[in-house]
Amino acid sequence: MPATRKPIPTFRDETDERQFWETHDSTPYLDWGTAKPVRLPNLKPTTTAISLRLPMPLLERIKIAANKRDVPYQSLIKTWLAEKIDSL
C-alpha cells in the first residue's frame, strides 16, 4: 500500500469522471481501509421510459393479475421482468 496517494484528477464533467474510473484502479488514489459505510435513503434508481407493444388480451390479463395483487400493472411487469432476469 503506497504511503502517499496520487491526487484525484479534476474532471470536466461526470462523463469524463466515469470514463476515468472505468479505466483506472482506484487503489493508488484512495485508501479503502479508511472508508466508512454511507446510507443514501432517498436515492432512487434511474429509470427510462420505454414503449412496449402488447396484445390487448395479454395486457388485460396482466392488469387483472395486478389488480388481484393490489399493485399497479406496470410495477407488476417490472417485478416479473426482474424475477425472470434473476433466474437466468
Q: Give 11-50 pLDDT, tens digit per residue.
A: 999 999 999 999 999 999 998 888 899 988 888 888 899 9
Q: What is the pTM of this model?
A: 0.52
Q: 31 with 55: CB under 8 angstroms?
A: no
In degrees, rounded to 5, the angle at the alpha carbon of residue 24 between the alpha carbons of residues 20 and 29 is 95
C-alpha cell at 4: 502517499
Residue 83: pLDDT over 70:
yes
**CA dist 46 → 24, 41, 85 (Å):** 25, 15, 18
pLDDT at 32: 87
pLDDT band at 3 (very low <50, low <70, confident <90, very high): low
Residue 72: pLDDT over 90:
yes
Cα torsion angle, 65, 67, 69, 71, sign = positive
pLDDT band at 74 (very low <50, low <70, confident <90, very high): very high
